[in-house]
């Protein structure tokens, strides 16, 4: 519980920051998006990764103010890049289960767009299939509200939940992100290649953009290109990085 007190204080004291991982259009090689990933510079313990504090934030409700901070910062940064003349990209923000259930999410998102001046089409929300299973109708209604204002919706870690196909059937999605566990062993496992090929064609049939996550090698990338996967994200092109480093990369690959 001490950590959550520190986290609450840390949010107010601006100890959080975002890193940005590029998302690449495979055909053109251009950066078309970035996933925002939160980090925490703890005054004594140094840099903490989300694995060390998201879960406790989720259990204690601190995720709501953390999530609000992330939304505001991601929108502000993306608008600043646009105002600096850099290519327009979509910024993707992870939304947790409890954030998604929170009544204030819609108004928090509106407020982040309004304050930053970012056009809604340059914001994407990522959620996992598990978070919406409890109340599908309510989740779909909220997603439709987001879609109506032009926000993009992505399903994260696709293929790892219990209801991947139910999610595709019901949710008004723009994009699916193939979980990195299917990409990791592509070179060695014919079954993983078959699964990835099938997900990519499923996405294409449904008119969804497909992102392969965790792409670490040129061979994985070549395989994905041969399957006509549109977008990749992974260490092969770039790790999550600080905003200034990301903006240089964005400027170079325009």
Q: Which residues bind ligand G (CB under 6 A)?
A: 21, 37-38, 49-51, 54, 67, 70, 94, 96, 156-157, 180, 213-216, 234-235, 240
In the complex, what is the shortest distance from the CB of residue 18 to ligand G, in angstroms, rounded to a whole number?
A: 8
Contact predicate 127/155, CB 8 Å: yes
Strand duo 90-94 + 31-42: pairing? parallel
Site string for Mn ion, 155-174 (x = CB under 5 A): -x------------------
Quick one: 20 or 171, whose CB is closer to ligand G? 20
Q: Which stretch binds Na ion (CB under 5 A): 21-29, 100-108, 132-140, 210-218?
A: 210-218
Range 17-46 burial, b when 16+ CB lie within 10 A, else e: ebbbbbbbebeeeebbbbbbbbbbebeeee
Q: Which does 216 bind (CB under 5 to 8 A by kind): ligand G, Mn ion, Na ion, none?
A: ligand G
Sole residue written with tokens 């293929």 = 159
Q: Which is nearer to Na ion, 213 or 230 (CB)?
A: 213
Q: What mask, x for binding Mn ion by CB under 5 A, covers residues 94 to 133? A: x-------------------------------x-------
Under a CB-based contact definition with an 8 Å cutoff, are residues 54 and 63 in contact? yes
226: enclosing H helix or E strand: helix 218-226
- Considering the complex, what minimum distance in angstroms separates the CB of residue 214 from Na ion? 8
Contact 91, 124 (CB under 8 A): yes
| Rg (the chain; Cα; Å) | 18
Shortest reach from residue 85's CB to ligand G, in Å? 27
Q: Which residue is nearest to Mn ion, using beta carbons?
A: 156
Does 21 participate in binding Mn ion (rule CB under 5 A)?
no
Which run of H or of E encompasses 20?
A: strand 16-25
Q: Find the shortest distance in angstroms from Cβ 174 to Na ion.
A: 15
Judge contact between 167 and 132, C-beta under 8 A.
yes
Q: What is the rounded end-to-end Cα distance, in angstroms, of the chain? A: 46
**Pick 68 or 177: Cβ nearer Mn ion:** 177
Q: Closer to Na ion by CB, 10 or 161: give it.
A: 161
Q: Which two tokens stand for residue 188?
A: 């060695």
CB 250 within 8 A of CB 213: no
- Residues in contact with Na ion, shown as a per-residue x/- string from 132 to 161 under the rule CB under 5 A: ------------------------xx----
Rounded to 5°, the CA angle 19-128-104 comes to 80
35 binds Na ion, rule: CB under 5 A = no
**Contact footprint for Mn ion (CB under 5 A):** 94, 126, 156
Q: Which residues would be at the binding site for Na ion (CB under 5 A)?
A: 156-157, 213
């Amino acid at each position: 519980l001490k950590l959550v007190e520190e986290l609450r204080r840390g949010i107010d004291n601006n100890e959080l920051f975002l890193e940005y991982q590029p998302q690449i259009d495979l055909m053109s090689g251009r950066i078309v998006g970035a996933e925002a990933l939160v980090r925490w510079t703890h005054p004594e313990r140094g840099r903490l990764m989300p694995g060390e504090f998201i879960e406790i934030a989720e259990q204690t409700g601190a995720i709501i103010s953390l999530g609000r901070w992330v939304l505001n910062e991601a929108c502000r940064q993306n608008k600043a890049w646009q105002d600096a003349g850099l290519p327009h990209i979509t910024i993707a923000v992870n939304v947790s289960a409890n954030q998604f259930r929170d009544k204030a999410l819609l108004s928090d998102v509106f407020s982040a767009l309004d304050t930053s001046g970012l056009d809604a089409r340059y914001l994407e929300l990522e959620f996992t299939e598990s978070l919406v299973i409890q109340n599908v109708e309510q989740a779909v209604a909220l997603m439709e509200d987001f879609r109506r204002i032009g926000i993009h919706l992505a399903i994260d870690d696709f293929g790892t939940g219990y209801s991947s196909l139910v999610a595709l059937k019901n949710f008004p999605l723009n994009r699916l992100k193939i979980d990195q566990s299917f990409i990791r062993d592509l070179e060695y496992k014919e079954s993983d290649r078959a699964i990835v090929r099938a997900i990519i064609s499923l996405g294409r049939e449904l008119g969804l953009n497909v992102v392969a996550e965790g792409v670490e090698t040129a061979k994985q990338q070549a395989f994905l290109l041969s399957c006509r996967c549109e977008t990749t994200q992974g260490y092969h092109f770039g790790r999550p990085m600080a905003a200034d480093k990301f903006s240089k990369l964005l400027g170079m690959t325009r």
